[in-house]
Amino acid sequence: MTPSQTVTHDGRGSRIEQPEYEALLRRVTAWVEGPGERWSERIEADGEVPGELFDELKQNGFLGLAAPVALGGHGLSFSQWMGLMEVFSRSHASIRMLVHVINGTWRSMNPHASDAQRETYVKPSVAGDILVAFTLTEPDNGTGADISCSVRREGDTYYLSGRKHLITFGVSCDYWLLFARLEGTSGKDGTIGLLVDRKAAGVTVEDTSNTMGVRGTDHARLTFDNTPVPVAQRLGEEGDGLAIALGGFLTPSRISVAMSCVGLAERAQQLAVEYAQKRVTFGKPISSRQAIAFMIAENEADIEAAKALVLHAAREWEDDSPQASALSSMAKMVAVDMLTRVTDKALQVHGGLGYWKSEAIERVYRDARAQRFEEGTNEIQKTVVARDVFARAAQAASAASTASEEAK
């Protein structure tokens, strides 16, 4: 897809004109409600994402919507992309995951890629020609500067050893976008970002995809034993690993996950409303019962409030606001809690029937639970927000003290 017209947008990509965007939004909505729903049924039945679905997403141009035109993407602004993510998230969680990941990993790679790497990895990823799995989380550590997966360098080759787990698309990918540290170092300055070939020697891949929800998305546990990785497959410089992993990727990705909570909550609400209108007790639809109507009303307000915060965070990130990082954590924290409440009430509206796999709300309810740890738990988000609040309070106190001294 090639946008008919784009304009610059504060250094955060481009923005397509509104009529074109509205047409794209209608096309995505029609796909989600039609073919996407049929794919969802097949994924749940088979427990896997078929290759034909990936091909269909690629052919529709859905895997490169968020990337700049220069990388082969559609050139949407981030806020525009969030509008589409809201719709994709009403579909099966594995469909949302594919679209979310592929429309986001370029943000991590591109700022640190050489021209050759951009042609070899970034553009093919945007095009859907290769699948790159974000590979940070480890079984024995948190997710950050305490990573222990390590490399030692011999000439033009790194030798990688260590373990990773909970790696989405880690089984079926073409490359792992992997973060490790230089042997013998500690802290962020020793971290490194590598593109590791899925077929590299010395790798044991264990499929750990048997999850409660998000069926069909593969997850891997990886063990590396002196796996050779050419230095040419390093992104940026030695010491840039944590910046590559978190810098241009984590903030927009958290906002995107928050919007996926909004979209999934909207789907749960839609199912609850439809059921309430058709289910009859004592001669009346249960939508006329105050207990049911109040749950629907609470859900609606909950969804709208969370959506407003997510869109505010998205606009702040677009404008390169210093508050964007904290706002991304606020948005994810609020949206996840909202999703928990909404899906619980939506299932309750269905009564006991909602617990059966014959009802779509059962899948939505299971899928919603995964959002509580994607891109960091709420406990992590609260830590980020609190740190920001106290830092701003300290800055304000310092500024007030300086002003007081100057006034004397």
Coil, strand or helix: which one is 7?
strand
Instruction: Say if residues 291 and 298 touch (Cβ distance below 8 Å).
Output: no
Count each helix (H run) and each strand (E run) in the chain, helices first.
14, 12
Instruction: Say if residues 48 and 95 touch (Cβ distance below 8 Å).
Output: no
The set of catalytic residues is 375
| Residue given tokens 């039609």 in the structure block | 34
Tell me which long-range contacts 330-333 makes (C-beta under 8 A, separation of at least 24): 330/381, 330/385, 331/254, 331/255, 331/258, 331/306, 332/254, 332/255, 332/257, 332/258, 332/261, 332/375, 332/376, 332/378, 332/381, 333/378, 333/381, 333/382, 333/385
Coil, strand or helix: which one is 234?
strand
**Two structure tokens written together for 189:** 């300055």
3-state SS string over 142-211?
A: CCCCCCCCEEEEECCEEEEEEEEEEEECCCCCCEEEEEEEECCCCCHHHEEEEEEECCCCCEEEEECCCC
Query: CA-CA distance, 341 to 339, in Å (whole number)?
Result: 5
Question: Between β-strands 150-154 and 175-182, what pairing exists: parallel, antiparallel or unpaired?
Answer: parallel
**Which runs of E-coded beta strand occur in 169-322?**
175-182, 191-197, 203-207, 219-230, 234-235, 280-281, 284-285
Instruction: Say if residues 226 and 202 touch (Cβ distance below 8 Å).
Output: yes
